[in-house]
Amino acid sequence: RRCPRPALPILRWLPRYSRAWLPLDLLAGLAVGLTTVPQALAYAELAGLPLQYGLYSSFMGCFVYCLLGTAKDVTLGPTAIMSLLVSSYAFHEPVYAVLLAFLSGCVQLAMGLLRLGFLLDFISCPVIKGFTSAASITISFNQIKNILGLQGIPRQFFLQVYETLRRIGETRAGDAVLGLTCLAALAGLRAMKSRLPQAAPAEPVAVRISYLIVWVSATARNALVVLFAGLVAYSFQVMGWQPFRLTGSIPQGLPAFRPPRFSLAAPNGTVPFQSMVQDMGVGLAVVPLMGLLETIAIAKAFASQNGYRIDPDQELLALGVANVLGSFVSSYPITGSFGRTAVNAQSGVCTPAGGLVTGTCELLSLYPLTDMRKSGSGLLLPPSLSAPSQPLETGHSRAWLLSLAGLDLVPLCVTFLLCFWEVQYGIVAGVLLSGILLLYSIARPPIKVSEGEVLLVQPGSSLHFPAMEHLRDSVCSRALAAASPPRCVILDCCHISSIDYTVVLGLAELLQELRRHGLSLAFCGLKDPVLQVLLSAELEGFQHFPSWEEAAGSRAAELGGSRAEPFSSTAEST
C-alpha cells in the first residue's frame, strides 16, 4: 500500500534530506541573504516607509516558506511591485502598511483553504504585462529624484515627471555622482557574472577559488555596493563635511512581536478600523491578488524549468500565513521575488531549507546596523542607492509584445496607460476588459456554414446560453434567405462538449421554426453527455447521426433524391 502524502510540505523532503545538499543550501541561502539586505532597504523607501520596515519584511517569509512552500527555489519578501502598491494604499503610514499585510494574508489564506486558486486564471497575461511594464517605468523614474538628490517630489507619476524636470536645476552634485557611480558598478558586476565562464573540476585549485570569489562578489553586488557607499558617506561624516543627503539611522534590535494595530491615533482623534479599511478600499483586493499572481507565476516558471511540480493552493496557504505572521513583526505585504529566486536557483539550492539561512541573515543584519547606531554613526546610506538593483522582470523576453495581436492589445494598452494614473484603475479596467472579451467569445463563437443540397452548420466551440440566439440567426438567415432553400439543415456538433438548459430550449424552438418552413434539422457528431441531455429532453423531430455524410445521405433517401453533392460555398460567421 502507498503511504499517504504528508499534508505539511516540509515532511515531504526533510526525511530524505542528504548531507550532500547542505553546502549548496548554505551557499544559496547566504547569497540570497546578501542580496536581500540592500534590496529590502531600497524597497522600503519605494513603499514610502521608514527603512527598517524593509528589513522587518524580509525574514518571516523565508521561515514560513521553508515549512509550507512547495518550490525549492522561491523566496518570499518585499518586491518592487508590492512596494509600489503599498505606497499607493498605505499612504506612507506604517500602521496602514502592517494592517494591509494582515488583511491581505487573511484573504490569501482564505483562498488557499477554499482552494480558489483557479480564480487567478481569469486575470489574463495582457493585463499582467501591461501592469508590470507600467510598473517598470514608474519604479525607474521614481528613483531619479533620489539619484539627483531632489526632495518634495509628488508621488503621482505625471506630477512626478513634471516636478522632476522643472527642478532638475536643483540637482545635488554629490548625490548624482555617487548614484551614477553605484549604478555603473552594479551594471558592470552583473555583466561580469553573465560572462563568467564555468570553472571545470579539472582546473587548478587557485583557478576554482578565483572563480568562486568573483562569482560571490558578482552575486552579492548589491551588498558590496551598499557597503562601499556607506563607507564613503561615513568617511565624509567623520571629516565633518557631508555632500550627500543621508537616510538616517535604523532603530535598534528586532521588531516587537505583537498584533497589528487596528486603529490609528491622529491629531484630531482616532481613526477606527472601519475607516482604515475604507481608506485602503480596492487595495484589499488588488494587493493580495497581485501577491498571489507574482508568487505562483514565479513558482510555476522555476518548477517547469527544473522539472518538479508545485501545488498552487498550497502556495496560497504559504503566502497567506507568511503575510499574517509577518504583520506581527511589523512587515508590510510580501510576495515571491523573481530576482532573488533566480539567485537562489543559480546558486544550486536543493531544498527550501536555504530559506532558513536567508532568514537568519536578515535577522543578523539588524544587529550590525544597531551597533552602527550605538557608535553614533547611524546608517549612513545615501538615498541615491534606493533604486532596486535587480531589474523588474516580466518572465518573458522583450519580444513578447510582437506575439500579441488583435483584441489582446486592448486590455494591455488600457492597463498600461491607466496604471500611470492610478495602479488600481489600470488593473481593474484591464480585468473588466478581459472579462468582456471572454464573454464576447462565448456569446459569439465561430460558426462555419457550408451550402449545397444540404446546409451544414458547424459551431466552432461549446454552446452556452449567450450563443444560442447567434446560432439561431446564423441558421435561419442562411436556410430561409436562399433562392432555393435546402431541404435539410445538418448541425455538426463535434466541437460541442456541453450545453445548458437555455440551449436545449433554443434548439427545440429552432426545430419548430424550420419545420414550419418545410425544412428538417438533423444533428451529427454529438458527444455522449450532450446526446444524453437532448434525448432526455424528448425534442420533437430530433434526429442524430454519427457523421454529416450519413445524415445527408439519409435525408436524401427519405426525400427520394440522390446523395448530396459537394458544397458549393462555405462561409464563417463570428
Where do we find the cell 510576495? 335
Task: Specify the pLDDT at position 110.
Answer: 93
Residue 426 DSSP symbol: H
Please tell me the least confidently modeled range out of 129-138, 205-214, 553-562: 553-562
Local confidence band at 206 (pLDDT 50, 70, 90 cut-offs): confident
Task: State mean pLDDT over 562-572.
Answer: 49
The cell numbers describing 475, all together, are: 441558421
Task: State mean pLDDT over 312-337.
Answer: 94
Q: Is 491:524 a contact under the CB 8 Å cutoff?
A: yes
Task: Specify the pLDDT at position 421.
Answer: 83
| DSSP labels, 345-402 | HHTT--STTHHHHHHHHHHHHHHHHHHHHHTT------GGG-S-SS----SS-GGGGG
Whole-number Å distance between alpha carbons of 402 and 112: 35
More confident: 549 or 333: 333
Within 10 Å of residue 368's Cβ, how many Cβ atoms? 11
Residues whose CB falls within 8 Å of the CB of residue 266, separated by 6 or more in sequence, listed in order: none
Angle value at C-alpha 193, between 192 and 196, nearest 5 degrees: 85
Whole-number Å distance between alpha carbons of 229 and 332: 26
Give which of 525, 463, 469, 470 is closest to 492, Cα–Cα: 525
Condensed to tens digits (0 to 9), the pLDDT of residues 35-47 reads 788 788 888 988 9
Local confidence band at 89 (pLDDT 50, 70, 90 cut-offs): very high
Task: Specify the pLDDT at position 175.
Answer: 83
Condensed to tens digits (0 to 9), the pLDDT of residues 442-494 reads 888 888 888 777 888 888 888 888 989 988 888 888 877 755 666 688 888 88
Local confidence band at 404 (pLDDT 50, 70, 90 cut-offs): low
Task: State mean pLDDT over 307-322.
Answer: 88
Kindly tell me if the per-residue pLDDT of 17 is higher than 80: yes
Task: State mean pLDDT over 293-301.
Answer: 81
Q: Which helix (H) or strand (E) holds 573?
A: strand 569-573
Whole-number Å distance between alpha carbons of 286 and 283: 5
Name the pairing type of β-strands 454-459 and 264-266: unpaired
* CA 41 distance to own-chain centroid: 23
Residues whose CB falls within 8 Å of the CB of residue 355, separated by 6 or more in sequence, listed in order: 29, 62, 63, 65, 66, 69, 75, 76
More confident: 64 or 372: 64
Which of 1-5, 89-93, 225-229, 537-541: highest mean pLDDT?
A: 89-93
Whole-number Å distance between alpha carbons of 394 and 447: 36
Kindly tell me if the per-residue pLDDT of 166 is higher than 80: yes
Q: Is 20 helix (H, G, I), strand (E, B) or coil?
A: coil
At residue 329, φ and ψ (nearest 5 deg) are: -120, 30
* CA 11 distance to own-chain centroid: 28
Kindly tell me if the per-residue pLDDT of 249 is higher than 60: yes
Local confidence band at 244 (pLDDT 50, 70, 90 cut-offs): confident
Question: Does the domain spanning 447-556 belong to CATH 3.30.750.24?
Answer: yes
Q: Is 423:283 a contact under the CB 8 Å cutoff?
A: no
Task: Specify the pLDDT at position 373.
Answer: 36
Q: Is 337 helix (H, G, I), strand (E, B) or coil?
A: coil
* Alpha carbons within 13 A on the beta-carbon side of 64: 25
Q: Is 486:551 a contact under the CB 8 Å cutoff?
A: no
Q: Is 75:308 a contact under the CB 8 Å cutoff?
A: no
The cell numbers describing 388, all together, are: 532596486
Kindly tell me if the per-residue pLDDT of 375 is higher than 70: no
Give which of 534, 454, 554 is closest to 493, Cα–Cα: 534
Domain with CATH 3.30.750.24 in the chain: 447-556
Task: Specify the pLDDT at position 541.
Answer: 83
Q: Is 352:72 a contact under the CB 8 Å cutoff?
A: yes
State the pTM of this model.
Answer: 0.72
What's the farthest any 2 CA atoms get from each other in the chain?
109
Local confidence band at 568 (pLDDT 50, 70, 90 cut-offs): very low
Mean pLDDT (the chain) is 81
Task: Specify the pLDDT at position 391.
Answer: 42
